[in-house]
Amino acid sequence: MNRSELLASLARCVGERHVLTTPTDTAPFSQDWRRKYRGEAAAVVSPASTAEVAAVLQLAHAQRIPVVTQGGNTGMSGGATPDGSGTQIVLSTRRLNRIRHVDALNDTIEVEAGVVLEAVQVAASEVGRLFPLALAAQGSCTIGGNLATNAGGTAVLRYGNARDLALGLEVVTPDGRIWNGLRGLRKDNTGYDLKQLYIGSEGTLGVITAAVLMLFPPPAARRTAMLTLPSIDNAVQLLNRVRAELGPALTAFEVISAACVPVLQRHFPAMRWPFETLVPVVALIETSDHESEAHARDTLAFVLEQALEDEIATDGVIGESVAQSRALWTLREHLSEAQALEGSHIKHDIAVPISRVAAFVDAAVKQLQRGFPGARMAWFGHLGDGNLHFNVLAPVDADPQAFCARQDEVNRLVHDLVQAHSGSISAEHGLGQLRRDESARYKDSVELALMQGVKQALDPLGLMNPGKVLGPMPEG
């Protein structure tokens, strides 16, 4: 089948208007959010139903054409970007955007994969429920992308990752069959839990077309506090206390290192940072209170008082209203964009056991300072989950390009330390193409072979998002 026959066949699957082919039209789908990866798509197809996805995959299977599924294209690991060969089709889920059904009594919602995360949150709140997955990209990332990357975000310590919030999935297999696993059950022990294989598989096993997600009762009040701390060790101590004090009301415990602050202020000068002096670490704590506004505020005030009295914290503010709490979150949510605007930097998305976070940070900072003098340790993230974005920025007066040319050395140093602290080199962003080879270096060889076996069993022709997560299959 030549190119024009292929495009005509794709147009028969989804309608001519929904097959993009010119470089101008396909360009936004051929580059990732960070502008780190750029590829070239043979075409971008946008099916509007599960049946249309199945038709596209049947065609791709018959013609041996690789398919890269793309949701909101906010992924951090280059997983949704086609390669440069110009032979891969990008399958965009943006038209799979229906909220199919809300079952308030069962506390579930069934949505198509291209529904934007924020739209699910809104639909849940309209029936008096909460969909708790929350991340800074929620205005543009999709449920399909959240599930395919097993996204984490800021409420994991209370509600879990995307994986923990999905009860059922609908998936189109690489040969175009539809698996309807849209069960809204909290108990179902009828064999292998296939949905958990697709969740976190980053488009390498099939296309997720819909999901049944769990809903929760919304809290009576949410309040946020920001505390300044002398060290990461103090932050871990504070987390331990706050967990004991707030129990399940603790919904977020985030940290921000000092080096992040001037970068945020430079790129978002209108945002007001609440503290005059720069301190080593700031913690952002959120409580979701099921009693009342007053109870939420008093609990946080008590936590703050105790932390100041015991010299774990040096200062703090409490969001006195929803708007003030939101303003504190806005600062946190813009860190990623501020770093992107600052220029090339070396990202890490690591997890270590919470008990080892302080030792990891201290060792990493010390070793990086020695090997890369002046490098800025602009780490932040989800301390409550043991997950830090241990990002390293070029020294202020250095050439960022020259600094980033040394990224393999920086990665090796950080990731060797992660391994020494029993951690993971990708906590929530997935492997995509960014961490694929490094993951093979650190992963247990049996685990890697089992993963290759799964890929071989579910996608024997290797058509689903080739080159992501796993490298080329070993011979034989």
> What residues does 31 pair with on adjacent strands?
38
Q: Would you say the C-alpha torsion 184, 186, 190, 193 has a positive or negative sign?
A: positive
User: CA of 461: how far to CAs of 42, 86, 114, 437, in Å?
Assistant: 19, 19, 26, 21
Are β-strands 250-257 and 376-377 bridged in parallel, bridged antiparallel, or unpaired? unpaired
Task: Write down the residue that tokens 């849209």 correspond to.
Answer: 182
- Interaction between residue 391 and ligand 2HG (CB under 6 A): yes
Q: Would you say the C-alpha torsion 352, 355, 359, 362 has a positive or negative sign?
A: positive
Q: What gap in Å lies between CA 284 and CA 383, rounded to an integer? A: 10
Q: What gap in Å lies between CA 201 and CA 465, rounded to an integer? A: 10
From the list 70, 92, 204, 336, which residue makes contact with ligand 2HG (rule: CB under 6 A)? 336
Instruction: State the binding partner of 381 from ligand FAD, ligand 2HG, none, CB within 5 to 8 A by kind.
Output: ligand 2HG
One character per residue 325-354, x = contact with ligand FAD (rule: CB under 6 A): -----------xx-----------------
Within positions 89 to 128, which residues make up the interface with ligand FAD, using CB under 6 A?
Answer: 93, 113
Nearer to ligand FAD, 304 or 338 (CB): 338
Within positions 279 to 318, which residues make up the interface with ligand 2HG, using CB under 6 A?
Answer: none
- Interaction between residue 208 and ligand FAD (CB under 6 A): yes
- Interaction between residue 389 and ligand 2HG (CB under 6 A): yes
Nearer to ligand FAD, 158 or 468 (CB): 468
| Helix-helix angle 322-333:335-342, to 10 degrees | 30
- Interaction between residue 79 and ligand 2HG (CB under 6 A): no
- Interaction between residue 381 and ligand 2HG (CB under 6 A): yes
Instruction: State the binding partner of 391 from ligand 2HG, ligand FAD, none, CB within 5 to 8 A by kind.
Output: ligand 2HG
- Interaction between residue 424 and ligand FAD (CB under 6 A): no
CA 93 to the chain's CA centroid? 18
Name the residue whose CB lies closest to ligand 2HG.
336
- Interaction between residue 375 and ligand FAD (CB under 6 A): no
- Interaction between residue 202 and ligand FAD (CB under 6 A): yes
Q: What gap in Å lies between CA 106 and CA 263, rounded to an integer? A: 45
Q: What gap in Å lies between CA 407 and CA 206, rounded to an integer? A: 32
- Interaction between residue 145 and ligand 2HG (CB under 6 A): no
Within positions 129 to 148, which residues make up the interface with ligand FAD, using CB under 6 A?
Answer: 135-137, 141-142, 144-146, 148
Could you tell me if 172 and 178 are in contact, meaning their C-beta atoms sit under 8 angstroms apart? yes
From the list 82, 152, 319, 466, which residue makes contact with ligand FAD (rule: CB under 6 A)? 152
Residues 6+ apart with CB under 8 A from 12: none
Within positions 123 to 142, which residues make up the interface with ligand 2HG, using CB under 6 A?
Answer: 136
Give phi and psi for 317, each to the nearest 5: -135, 150
One character per residue 428-467, x = contact with ligand FAD (rule: CB under 6 A): xx--x--------------------------------x--
User: CA of 81: how far to CAs of 3, 26, 45, 90, in Å?
Assistant: 21, 11, 14, 8
Nearer to ligand 2HG, 32 or 289 (CB): 32
> What residues does 212 pair with on adjacent strands?
110, 168
Instruction: State the binding partner of 225 from ligand 2HG, ligand FAD, none, CB within 5 to 8 A by kind.
Output: none
> What residues does 41 pair with on adjacent strands?
88
Q: What gap in Å lies between CA 410 and CA 110, rounded to an integer? A: 43
**Of the candidates 105, 113, 124, which has an alpha carbon nearest to the alpha carbon of residue 182?**
113
Within positions 438 to 457, which residues make up the interface with ligand 2HG, using CB under 6 A?
Answer: none
Please give the single-letter amino acid code of residue 198: Y
- Interaction between residue 11 and ligand 2HG (CB under 6 A): no
Determine how many CB atoms are found less than 10 A away from the CB of residue 33: 20
Nearer to ligand 2HG, 142 or 173 (CB): 142
CA 397 to the chain's CA centroid? 31
Q: What gap in Å lies between CA 221 and CA 287, rounded to an integer? A: 8
Instruction: State the binding partner of 389 from ligand 2HG, ligand FAD, none, CB within 5 to 8 A by kind.
Output: ligand 2HG
Smallest separation (angstroms) from ligand FAD to the CB of 218:
21
Query: Tokens at residue 158, please?
Result: 């209370």
From the list 14, 48, 55, 76, which residue makes contact with ligand FAD (rule: CB under 6 A)? 76
Total of chain residues touching ligand 2HG, rule CB under 6 A: 6
Residues that bind ligand 2HG (CB under 6 A): 136, 336, 347, 381, 389, 391
Residues of this chain that bind ligand FAD (CB under 6 A) = 33, 68-76, 79-80, 93, 113, 135-137, 141-142, 144-146, 148-149, 151-153, 202-203, 207-208, 336-337, 428-429, 432, 465, 468
